[in-house]
Structure 1
Amino acid sequence: MEVPPEDSLPFHLLATVASEPSFFIAVGLIVLGLLFLSGLISGSEVAFFSLTHNQMRDFNVSDDLNEKRIAKLLHHPKRLLATILILNNLVNIFIITISTYTAWQIVGDQGEEGIIIASLTTIITALIIFFGEIIPKVYANHNSISFAKVTSGLLMFSYGFLKPVSWFLMSVNNLIEQRVKKKGYNLSVEEINQALEISVEKEEVTEEEKGILKGIVNFGTLSVKQVMKSRMDITAYDKETDFHELMNQINKNGYSRIPVFSETIDKIEGILYIKDLLPHIDKGENFNWQKLLRPAFFIPESKKIDDLFKDFQEKQVHIAVVIDEYGGTSGLITMEDVIEEIVGEINDEFDDDRDIAYNKLDNNTYIFEGKTSLNDFCKITHSDITTFDRVKGESESLGGLVLELNSKLPGAGEKITYQNFVFTVVAVDLRRIKRLRVHIKPEKSNAGKFED
């Protein structure tokens, strides 16, 4: 560090001020304040990024100002992290700069300034690590919600104030990530699927083997929402149903595990296992069958089915209720649904062709129900599962896809074209598309890709 000239005005001013006891008190208070601020900022990183999905879901619909801030900040986690790191580094730089420069002015040219400043820097660094990093982060880890609320105002202000700097750093980081990715070559799911197609053409694997291999390749990419049975197709029983009526419904439906709700399907009380009813089939109409309910296993729509498969194995359950971001029932998924993504359709004595209702008119033309999932549609038509990723939005059904493409509810007979798919609406009601005719034009021989 270059020593300021002794005859400079700043040097004389600081030397004069440094001789006053109040100067040391002021500097000490400033350093302590900055150290406390450093701890708040460091702890906020742990507090914000340790919040659970359920907590975030509650914050999104909360009326509390601090909780609203937390939800808003975490909508852009990378930018929030950049803001925290920039702010924390700025505060730590101020602490070291103020402490070192003050020590320099006090020591002057006594010949031992190097040793004193080095010692002071070591002490300040140790204080920052201990009081500005370790202690606040340990505390924030055990009190994440309260800590996040306390720091939400500071971070919201800094979020806007440091926007240009955080944007620049994020741009540089993205550029570096792109360069690093280019150096390493990872096979995409689409490339593996193309390799499987070539293997079939060369008769290295059979169509059945290809289907299983594709299921394994795509297994980790599918979310529960893509595979589940939607709430409109769920068979569930009201908790107030009497025992005789319950048994009649069970005989008609043929399911072995059925959700039971109270008042509305959004209030699932538990799961009724039919095998638990067998010892009681001769009981009277007033039999309290509700006591046989088992706890329901709830999961979010975004959960990957490979993770769900592990959960099914660990918890030894075969059915899960899928909930949306507001806690309502979105659908239902079973162990059988998950396994079918690998091995294909599994039929038992209660299954029939109406589970996935479609008619194949010729090699390129089909009639589908609007509620058919995009996942099932792609399987039946042997289409790439990623074909509609850019345009499907939040929809997971064929009818929902057509609504996304058309931006409004189409009328009967209306045609919507996307790439080599021509969707013709066959039947529609006031709220949804009920039936579609799908014609798939033969793929072009060059690249197999079509423009929108």
Structure 2
Amino acid sequence: MIIEIIGIFFLLLLSAFFSSSETAITRISDVKIYQWGESKNRKYIKAKELMNSRERVIGILLLGNNIVNILASALATSILIGLFGDKGIIYATLIMTTLIFIFSEVLPKTYAIRESEKLILYASPFIKIFIFILSPINFLVQNLVSSILNITNKETKNNDWKQNLRGAILLANNKGDVRKPDRIMLESILDLHEVKVSEIMTHRKNIEGINISENIDLIIDLALKSRFTRLPLWKDNADNIIGTLHVKDLLRARNTNTNLLINDIMQKPQFISENTSLSEQLNNFKKDTVQMAFVIDEYGDLQGLISLEDILEEIVGEIFDEFDKQIAGPEILSDKSVVVDGAMTIRDLNRSMDWKLPDEEASTIAGLVIDIAQKLPSINETIKIDKFHFTVLERQRTRITKINIKLIVID
């Protein structure tokens, strides 16, 4: 009997080893495993080799855990039946359930959660021994499981690292390790490949350009009065962009040449598709060493203008200088409603208020209201969008300038 009892405690110890190893393996992130690969420490190298076949290792650990738990329970039942007869089955169930639950599940798994990296580094050699012993059985089990998952189309090998990174950023923000502005900036970097230039560009109606046919003195005067250092040059009509003019080039050329020709100093314009992503355009700016591009649609018609500063502002937020016209941020009223400028982008409002307003069909709040209403709403007219009431407060002709947004409270 003593040998059987010692055997039970040895099996419970093995069960604790399997349980803790399984939890530690599932807790280690892919980023941590990648960092192990760059270490020259042999422990890290061996642990990384083990984690490269994570599904197979977990299968081995689960198989081993079930074998030792069943064997320990069978031994305990045999001993207690010999001592108490049929009642020994009940005693064995109660005792083994308690022992397995506390000492082979809760305790080792809690430790594994707290010290997952340390546990894996020291347990790797022993896990490899069990892999060698149980691999034949596990091979059959893994093939059976894979076949079932393939039939039901539930097996996936995609690792959405961006979602994992977003989750890590949100978790750090909730714990107070990352401030909200930093969280927004990090999330914006991840969104660069999803946001199109058409969503943040300056619309063609708001582009400040110069007619290249004007007198050189007038061009210089317009350039100096402008709040921009780079200006589009057009010919015949404002949508026919033929180049860009840098004020510094203009002044330098004027000081050295009295017979100045604008064609000699203007830069060739860069035209891009309205469907170009911000990440792609950022790379284009770096590669072509330009800071401004013109957005065109599928028919080649001018839609707007985007600059390097626009993309940077999408990441870090608005960057205002002494010449910029600032768009007022959301104003929270006493009734918890929010007043915003109609020109404010939906993305900025969502990030500022932690909302999830749709931005697929429109880029600004005013555009969203018009798109949902399918008309130009009148002043004081209210439009329901998702869980919010949008009330038009001010309008200048066909442009909505101020909107009140209030969350619909359901009693």
The interval holding the TM-score normalised by the smaller chain is 0.5 to 0.7
Counterparts of 1:288 and 1:443, CA distance in 2: 67
Q: Determine the structure 1 residue equivalent to 2:233.
A: 260
Question: CA 1:440–1:249 in structure 2 vs 1: closer, same or farther (change >3 Å)?
Answer: farther
* 1:210 corresponds to which of 169, 176, 183: 183
Higher Cα Rg: structure 1 or 2? 2
Summarize the alignment of residues 213-292 of structure 1 with structure 2, pairs less than 5 Å apart. 213-281=186-254, 287-292=260-265
Report what 2:38 is aligned to.
Answer: none
1:414 equivalent to 2:381? Answer yes
CA distance in 2, matches of 1:188, 1:405: 34
Contact 2:229 2:246 in 1 (8 A): yes
**Do 1:372 and 1:397's aligned partners in 2 also have CA atoms closer than 8 Å?**
yes
**1:330 maps to which of 288, 303, 315:** 303
Query: What code does the residue aligned with 1:289 have?
Result: I
CA distance in structure 2 between the partners assigned to 1:310 and 1:410 by the alignment: 40
Q: Which amino acid aligns with 1:249?
A: L
Code of the aligned partner of 2:345: S
Distance 1:284 1:337 in 2: 34
Match of 1:60 in 2: none
Question: How far is the alpha carbon of 1:284 from its aligned partner?
Answer: 10
Distance in 2, Cα, partners of 1:374 & 1:418: 13
- Letter matched to residue 234 of structure 1: I
State how far apart, in whole Å, the 2-side matches of 1:374 and 1:346 are.
18
Deviation per CA, 1:104-152, whole angstroms, max 9, x where unpaired?
Answer: xxxxxxxxxxxxxxxxxxxxxxxxxxxxxxxxxxxxxxxxxxxxxxxxx
Distance 1:276 1:350, change over 3 A: same
Q: How does 1:147-162 map to 2 (within 5 A)?
A: none
Quickly say closer, same or farther: Cα 1:294–1:212, change in 2 above 3 A: same
Per-residue deviation, 1:200 = 1.4
Q: Which residue of 2 aligns with 1:377?
A: 349
Q: Please tell me whether residue 437 in structure 1 is matched to residue 404 in structure 2.
A: yes
Task: Using the TM superposition, give the Cα deviation of residue 378 of structure 1 relative to its aligned residue in structure 2, in angstroms.
Answer: 2.8
Equivalent in the alignment of 1:401: 368
Query: What is the Cα-based RMSD across aligned positions, in Å?
Result: 3.3
CA deviations over 1:174-197 (Å, ceiling 9, x no partner): xx9997686245448677545533
Q: TM-score, normalised by structure 2?
A: 0.56
Cα deviations across residues 239-266 of structure 1 (Å, max 9, x unaligned)? 2232333233323322111111112222
Asked if 1:301 is matched to 2:271, the reply is no
Measure how far apart 1:368 and its partner are: 3.1
CA contact (8 A) 1:243 1:285 kept: no
Letter matched to residue 307 of structure 2: T
Counterpart amino acid of residue 383 in structure 2: I
Letter in 1 for 2:179: T
Give 2:6's aligned residue: none
Partner Cα distance (2:288, 2:151) in 1:
40
Secondary structure of the residue aligned to 1:183 is: coil
Using the alignment, how far apart are the partners of 2:161 and 2:369 within structure 1?
Answer: 27
Residues 178 and 322 of structure 1: CA distance in aligned 2, closer, same or farther (over 3 Å): farther
Distance 1:296 1:221 in 2: 25
Percent identity among equivalent residues? 27
Structure 1: how far apart are the matches of 2:163 and 2:410?
A: 16
- Number of residue equivalences: 262
**Contact (CA 8 Å) 1:300, 1:322: kept in 2 or not?**
yes
The 3 A distance-change label for structure 1 pair 358 and 253 is farther
1:346, CA displacement in angstroms?
2.6
Alpha-carbon distance in 2 for matches of 1:400, 1:376: 14
Relative to structure 1, the CA distance from residue 417 to residue 201 in structure 2 (aligned partners, 3 Å threshold; closer, same or farther) is same
The reply on whether 1:428 has 2:399 as its aligned counterpart is no
Query: Are the counterparts in 1 of residues 184 and 351 from structure 2 also a CA contact under 8 Å?
Result: no
Aligned to 2:58: none
TM-score by length of 1: 0.51
Find the residue that maps to 1:209 and give its secondary structure: helix
